[in-house]
Structure 1
Amino acid sequence: MIYSVSMGKLFDSIDDTMKAWIEAQPLWFVATAPLSGDGHVNMSPRGHDTFSVLGDRRVGWVDYTGSGVETIAHLRENGRICLMFVSFDSRPRIVRLYGHGSVSLPGEAAFDEVVALHPEHPSTRAVITVEVTRISDSCGWGVPVMEVTDERDLLRLQAEKKGVEGMADYRAEKNTRSIDGLPGLPA
């Protein structure tokens, strides 16, 4: 069922049409926040072939090693998350998925499930899955029309240069605590 909300709509589930649209977006955003009012809200862009709709109210993605660990730390603390998908082509649309996110590491069932759906990447550090509690869209009329020319290969090149041990060292140095001191990945 679809419910009208101002110019946007609320949806009961992610149907096949929305799933295809979401999975076709080359760029999407993840927003999380700590419980502390003094903590930093975080929004991160994501791309590459990492995202999957896993069910009509469940999604997940392969999380690559980055210079920070905010999403993981916030999810471990409170689970709150919002994903935003934006159309930059000629047909405007914004879809937001709100829910409760979980972090899975290598060897855990959800990690194996999601990683198997995507190309192998040497920067893979975790998998995030989200049980979606609210699905909404809005017009996107204020979003510019842009053209994607290519994916960046810098993450892969950096990870290949560092190697498995170097990536583990990097994560131990940069990904064990959030900028607010919350626990991230195990050292």
Structure 2
Amino acid sequence: MGKRFNELSDKHIHFISEQKLFFVGTATADSRVNISPKGMDSLRVLSPNRVAWLNTTGSGNETSAHIQQAPRMTILFCAFDGTPLILRLYGTAKVVHQYDPEWDDLFTRFKPLPGARQIFDVEVDLVQTSCGMAVPYFSYTGERELLSDWAEKQGEQGLWDYWTKNNQTSIDGITTHILEKGD
């Protein structure tokens, strides 16, 4: 059943590369727990103990706010077809904003996505697998282009205005620092 590993194996990395969807979980000591579904080919394995994912504009910015106060992050993948498997990555995350020195190096590892607002750089300290036998089968039929289309339509200033209005604090009032260096 469940197994623990100190790092990602080649088999784990291959499994991750096949997934179209993953989930990210974060919380501070006093905030609501946030679990977000992610896709859009936005995650990269950088080493057996490091992953990064390119975060695009959303209705909120909970993950960023949480990570800046409590850098714990869990990333969950589950097989919706083929052999059942759940794969969890536990680690310490760091938010990399567009104004941070690390941005350019990390951003080049991704296909550019409209509305990209930050990258989460995660040092993985525990990899856990479990059976996944209760996860139902789902068929992948394609990507939704709605968010990319919306972000392209907004343009740089429109995204900045949206971040100003909607992405500066979490639902619990924790700051995200998304605009600090650009003010």
* Contact 1:110–1:129 (Cα < 8 Å) also in 2: no
- The equivalent residue for 1:184 is 176
Conservation of the 8 A alpha-carbon contact between 1:175 and 1:185:
no
Amino acid at match of 1:45: P
SS at match of 1:13: coil
Whether the aligned pair in 1 keeps the contact of 2:97 and 2:178 (CA below 8 Å) is: no
Contact 2:168/2:176 (8 A) holds in 1: yes
For structure 2, the 5+ residue unaligned runs are none
Aligned with 2:17 (options 16, 23, 44): 23
CA distance in 2, matches of 1:47, 1:114: 18
CA positional deviation for 1:109: 4.2
* CA positional deviation for 1:104: 0.3
Counterpart amino acid of 1:52? R
For 1:23 and 1:185, how far apart are their aligned partners in 2?
31
Does 2:134 correspond to 1:145?
no
Read off the aligned partner of 1:104 and give its amino acid letter: V
Q: Which of 108, 111, 115 does residue 119 from structure 1 map onto?
A: 111
Q: CA deviation at 1:89?
A: 0.5
**In 2, Cα distance between the equivalents of 1:86 and 1:104?**
26
* TM-score between the two structures when normalised by the length of structure 2: 0.94
Please say if residues 25 and 33 of structure 2, whose CA atoms lie closer than 8 Å, have aligned partners that are also in contact. Answer: yes
Structure 1 pair 10–84 and aligned structure 2 pair: CA distance change class (3 A): same
2:102 match: secondary structure: helix
Would the aligned equivalents of 1:61 and 1:114 in 2 still touch at CA under 8 Å?
Answer: no
- The Cα shift of 1:176 comes to 0.3
Comparing 104-113 with 149-158, which one deviates more in the overlay? 104-113
Q: Is the 8 A contact 1:31 1:44 kept in 2?
A: yes
Q: TM-score, normalised by structure 1?
A: 0.92
| Separation (CA, whole Å) in 2 of partners of 1:70 and 1:184 | 8
How many residue pairs match? The answer is: 179
1:71 aligns with 2:66: no
Unaligned runs of 5+ in 1: 1-6
Cα separation, 2, equivalents of 1:172 and 1:107: 15
2:100 corresponding residue in structure 1 = 108
